[in-house]
């Protein structure tokens, strides 16, 4: 059962091959048996999951249908879940049980999903390796001495290891697409504003978006259809109808115009990854796509701009964690200042502190124009590059990451070397456009991801291209040995 995709599970549940309670029970025992090798879960909500599964079975028995009714999933631990620990991977949220469900959680619950628990992540979603979690690093099931990517590394490792068919993640600079690439999954970051951020603990509010990680584009379409939509509780949520992503999957690719940005294939890219990506391009050409070279000239400025804007927003967002209102509080504070200081000093990890300092510096009166304002101007130039490119092409294609999954600990001494891993993904967040990563083969037994970027609200087109590729390839079906 654990090898089935969400779409296959939906058919099996409809055909009564097994019940959601049976499926849930079997996945819970897989998690218990195998997750100690991976550390992908922070909390397993076994009792609640079995109850939800029984309720879903009862709804089916009463004649209800729905592709996600009884489907097991889990949430990245930055989505608020009522009554269940929501830690954001941080010590500072020790013991924090959210008083409400995030909109994404609520919508997926309403669709009948069964929540198996909460997934490990980089602290406050800051990272590309899932090593900064207070709950310990997550291991990549393809090689447990390597990182699964981050920050949605728990989501990626759990789905790749077949502990569950799909999970939610969030992507501020690549955190859905990069771990999807390093673990052989399909994941999509929607257009900014497509998925509600209400109840999603904020890292960098103008960049954060929630989205699904799964094994196939079809499963991502199923989940995104349930997650997306206008939410009056999120003022940046866009009031526009949600496309029928499942219907979009079957569109033929004849006439699809693909752009290959020269900046995505230059220095810094592992040449073997480049070869796999070009093999995908050839396959898409056979399906009727045409290809042309394009340029995104401001891409070289994306990392410096992102690593000013994201920490600036984070430094403001994280000021709410003061030891008074949420989670962790230091012992025996002398006075209020001491309580703030020591709760934050003891509650936040090193990477989070680094970013709060960088962000506070960039926003300070004397430096605001030189850093923050400048970074926002670069952001506009990057957006304009995409707007210009999408006049001539429908989809932009390139590698998701410049390198394969690296060894645990390898980049810890040099944070900038980890920041450079985000080079191909962060532009989409800066511009607000959707991006998808899908499996594109293996190098030395490690997964390679190819990234598709689309114009605003073109999620359906990205899922369509990925689905059509997955009809003629079987990379996405490969499972890591031992799982």
How many degrees, rounded to 5, is the angle at CA 375 between CA 374 and CA 380?
100
151 binds ligand GLN (CB under 6 A): yes
Check: CB of residue 170 under 8 Å from CB of residue 196. Answer: no
Catalytic residue among 40, 175, 196, 315: 175
For ligand GLN, the binding residue among 24, 43, 175, 427 (CB under 6 A) is: 175
Q: Is 286 an active-site residue?
A: no
126 binds ligand GLN (CB under 6 A): yes
Site residues for ligand GLN, 192-211, by CB under 6 A, read 203
**Minimum separation from the CB atom of position 332 to ligand GLN (A):** 34
**Cβ distance to ligand GLN smaller for residue 66 or 127:** 127
**Cβ distance to ligand GLN smaller for residue 27 or 78:** 78
432 binds ligand GLN (CB under 6 A): no
Burial of residue 345 (number of CB atoms within 10 Å: 0-12, 13-18, 19+): exposed
Check: CB of residue 210 under 8 Å from CB of residue 226. Answer: no
For ligand GLN, the binding residue among 161, 310, 358, 428 (CB under 6 A) is: 310
**Minimum separation from the CB atom of position 261 to ligand GLN (A):** 20
For ligand GLN, the binding residue among 117, 148, 153, 173 (CB under 6 A) is: 173
Check: CB of residue 214 under 8 Å from CB of residue 220. Answer: yes
For ligand GLN, the binding residue among 35, 101, 106, 171 (CB under 6 A) is: 171
Tokens encoding 343: 């709760």
Q: Is 151 an active-site residue?
A: yes
**Cβ distance to ligand GLN smaller for residue 171 or 385:** 171
168 binds ligand GLN (CB under 6 A): no
**Minimum separation from the CB atom of position 171 to ligand GLN (A):** 5
Please report where in the chains the tokens 């055909």 appear, as a residue.
15
Check: CB of residue 133 under 8 Å from CB of residue 121. Answer: yes
CB atoms near residue 439 (< 10 Å): 28
317 binds ligand GLN (CB under 6 A): no
Catalytic residue among 40, 132, 133, 151: 151
DSSP readout, 262-273?
Answer: GGGGSTTS-HHH
**Cβ distance to ligand GLN smaller for residue 323 or 435:** 435
Nearest CA-CA partner of 431 in 482, 479, 376, 480? 376
Site residues for ligand GLN, 98-117, by CB under 6 A, read none
CA–CA gap between residue 213 and residue 72 (Å, rounded): 13
**Cβ distance to ligand GLN smaller for residue 169 or 460:** 169
Check: CB of residue 370 under 8 Å from CB of residue 421. Answer: no
172 binds ligand GLN (CB under 6 A): yes
**Minimum separation from the CB atom of position 124 to ligand GLN (A):** 8
Check: CB of residue 195 under 8 Å from CB of residue 102. Answer: no
Catalytic residue among 19, 20, 76, 118: 76
The side-by-side arrangement of strands in the sheet containing 114-119 is 41-44, 114-119, 72-76, 166-171, 209-214, 186-189, 435-443, 446-454, 395-399, 257-261, 290-294
**Cβ distance to ligand GLN smaller for residue 192 or 469:** 192
Nearest CA-CA partner of 136 in 340, 349, 316? 349
Give the start-end residues of each E strand in 163-312.
166-171, 186-189, 209-214, 257-261, 290-294
57 binds ligand GLN (CB under 6 A): no
**Minimum separation from the CB atom of position 174 to ligand GLN (A):** 5
259 binds ligand GLN (CB under 6 A): no
**Cβ distance to ligand GLN smaller for residue 184 or 429:** 429
Q: How many residues lie near ligand GLN (CB under 6 A)?
A: 13
Within 13 A of 392's CA, how many CA atoms are on the CB side? 14
Q: Is 189 an active-site residue?
A: no
213 binds ligand GLN (CB under 6 A): no
90 binds ligand GLN (CB under 6 A): no
Tokens encoding 298: 């401001």
**Minimum separation from the CB atom of position 10 to ligand GLN (A):** 29
- Active-site residues, by number, are 76, 151, 175
Applying CB under 6 A, which residues contact ligand GLN? 125-128, 151, 171-175, 203, 310, 422
């Amino acid at each position: 059962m654990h090898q089935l995709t969400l779409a296959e599970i939906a058919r099996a549940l409809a055909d009564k091959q097994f019940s959601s309670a049976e499926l849930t029970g079997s996945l819970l025992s897989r998690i218990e048996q195998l997750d100690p090798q991976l550390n992908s879960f922070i909390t397993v909500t076994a009792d609640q999951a079995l109850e939800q599964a029984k309720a879903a079975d009862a709804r089916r028995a009463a004649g209800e249908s729905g592709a996600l009714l009884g489907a097991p999933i889990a949430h990245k631990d930055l989505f608020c879940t009522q009554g269940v620990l929501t830690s954001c991977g941080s010590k500072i949220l020790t013991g924090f049980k959210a008083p409400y469900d995030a909109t994404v959680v609520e919508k997926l619950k309403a669709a009948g999903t069964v929540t198996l628990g909460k997934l490990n992540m980089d602290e406050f979603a800051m990272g590309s390796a899932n090593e900064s979690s207070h709950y310990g690093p997550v291991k990549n099931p393809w090689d447990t001495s390597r990182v699964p990517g981050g920050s949605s590394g728990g989501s990626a490792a759990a789905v790749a290891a077949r502990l569950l068919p799909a999970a939610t993640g969030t992507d501020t600079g690549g955190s859905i697409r990069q771990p999807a690439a390093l673990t052989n999954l399909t994941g999509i970051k929607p257009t900014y504003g497509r998925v509600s951020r209400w109840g999603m603990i904020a890292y960098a509010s103008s960049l954060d978006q929630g989205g699904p990680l799964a094994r196939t584009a079809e499963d991502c379409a199923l989940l995104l259809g349930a997650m997306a939509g206008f939410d009056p509780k999120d003022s940046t949520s866009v009031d526009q109808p949600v496309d029928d992503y499942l219907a979009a999957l079957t569109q033929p690719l004849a006439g699809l115009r693909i752009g290959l940005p020269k900046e995505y294939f230059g220095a810094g890219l592992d040449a073997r990854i480049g070869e796999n990506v070009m093999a995908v391009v050839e396959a898409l050409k056979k399906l009727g796509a045409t290809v042309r070279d394009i340029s995104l000239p401001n891409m070289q400025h994306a990392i410096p701009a992102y690593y000013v804007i994201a920490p600036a927003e984070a430094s403001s967002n994280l000021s709410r964690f003061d030891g008074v209102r949420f989670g962790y509080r230091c012992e025996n504070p002398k006075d209020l200042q001491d309580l703030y200081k020591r709760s934050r000093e003891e509650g936040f990890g090193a990477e989070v502190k680094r970013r709060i300092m960088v962000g506070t510096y960039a926003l300070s009166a004397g430096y605001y124009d030189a850093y923050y304002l400048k970074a926002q101007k670069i952001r506009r130039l990057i957006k304009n590059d995409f707007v210009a490119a999408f006049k001539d092409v429908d989809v932009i294609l390139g590698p998701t990451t410049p390198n394969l999954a690296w060894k645990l600990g390898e980049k810890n001494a040099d944070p900038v070397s980890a920041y450079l891993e985000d080079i191909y993904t962060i532009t989409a967040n800066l511009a607000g456009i959707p991006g998808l990563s899908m499996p594109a083969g293996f190098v030395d037994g490690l997964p390679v991801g190819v990234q598709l970027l689309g114009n605003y609200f073109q999620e359906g087109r990205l899922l369509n291209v990925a689905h059509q590729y997955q009809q003629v390839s079987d990379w996405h079906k490969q499972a890591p040995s031992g799982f």
